[in-house]
Structure 1
Amino acid sequence: MKPTIQELEKTASQIRRDIVRMVHACQSGHPGGSLGCTDYFTALYFSVMNHDSNFNMDAVGEDIFFLSNGHISPVFYSTLAHAGYFDKAELATFRKLNTRLQGHPTTHEHLPGVRIASGSLGQGLSVAIGAALTKKLNGDKSLVFTLHGDGELQEGQIWEAAMFAPHNKVDNLISTIDVNGQQIDGPTNLVLSLGDLHAKWEAFGWDVLEMKGNDMADVVKTLELAKSRTGQGKPIMILMHTEMGYGVDFMVGSHKWHGVAPNDEQLQLALGQLEETLGDY
């Protein structure tokens, strides 16, 4: 039985607590995008995606996910832990020496749930297309999901992949872009404007949807809609509109929290706004 929207929101609250605590503990990391994408990760791993926490890299008969904007690793790690991939106590080792929880996910440490290294932006879509084509060749009806940052779209490799997928009818792929309008150097429209993303992806031949990324009900509904539109000859792109830092009032909507850790006082302010629902690690 799938969880209710309210249950998903409670899980998201705990994941947001984990994010700020992880980044605070090592005084480094990327809380802003992690907080903004928490609802997406929660919906994906606890409601939408057919996956197995008994991790197997081949993933035969199960949906798989690739995180392309790997710097938002705190939300990824917390989600995997609460979904049963590894003990949540390991979250306390984030960015510490000899940890499996690197600042950017890597496969060398063999952390369950991590399928690719994603420190360099722009590569995840190409990898996901390869995995999706492999599933089609193997007669595996499962789906491939990806997440990207909007600033990441300034990488040229994204647009090579954007051309390749529709041409090859990779219609078992559901990609999502975190459209928060922020990147490390400032607003995306000032650093390098992305223009009309809906029109661009449609022009490349994708089936384009949009959703409110900080509205759990809309996230679940749109992801399920995307699943229903697979198998029709087109890859699917979801433009997910979020607020960077969502859930913590002093972090919301500012690129300044892209890669800055809260101090002790700021941590307590943040935790005061995020209900502990599943128990802190």
Structure 2
Amino acid sequence: MKIIFSSKCLEYGSPYHPENPERLRLAYEFLKDKYSFLEPEPARDEDLLLVHSKSYVERVRRGDIHDADTPAYENIYEYAKLSAGGAILAAKEKAFSLMRPPGHHAGKEGIALGAPTLGFCYFNNIAIAVKKLGKKTLILDIDTHHGNGTQEIFQGDSNVIYIPLHTYGIYPGTGLRSEGNCYNYPLKIGTGDEEYLNTLERALREVDLSEIEVVAVSAGFDTFSGDLGGLNLSEKCYRKIGELIASLNLPTFAVLEGGYTKRLGNCIHEFLQGLGD
């Protein structure tokens, strides 16, 4: 699987913020000799408007964001558009987007489903890519945090099934029950490989995927042992996650969400090896 990456996404941020450029620089350095890379173009404004309101897009353009988790960095609008463009290219090429900022907490108007903050996200990259692709899609969200923005955007959308596996009792405090086409699988803090994989197998078995044409993965790696999310997955678990997704035998792309340890690149590599070509 090819990787989408631009060094421009390393140009902003604070070293004191968990979602900092160093996390991606280290991941890129680990992966650069193992995969082929493609350079993304920024998403167009009309792409952003597929999922976000015009007023919210304008707020991000102006830097009118007052959120301690999600600062209004200089030129964040351009960086966020480039990250969304990475997701669009990943959907087209069936590739992995190694870009920042992440996106799955961003809803139609920004903060979604009553969450306290935007959770490091500006535009919902995977939602933009799925809407632009226009196919019947399974969005599988493996980030430790519930993708409240993704659920808000696709709730009731007959073209999308949303399945997040996420940690119960942490930010954003949503996703405790399934609603319509959104099938939530909350997990207890401390969940390890065996229980996680059993839950994923059950989710893929229980939900009717017979009409699905494409799988889109919100690929968060903050489920890794010692990361922010309170789960306890090993690096090898990500290979098995990839293998389970590959067993669906459907075109698949993935977009980076969380993952804040120095082993992010290792986790991504295991996941991509599981997915295969």
TM-score range, shorter chain: 0.3 to 0.5
Q: Which structure has more helix as a fraction of its residues?
A: 1
User: Does 1 or 2 have the higher relative contact order (CA < 8 Å, sep 6+)?
Assistant: 1
TM-score (norm 2): 0.41
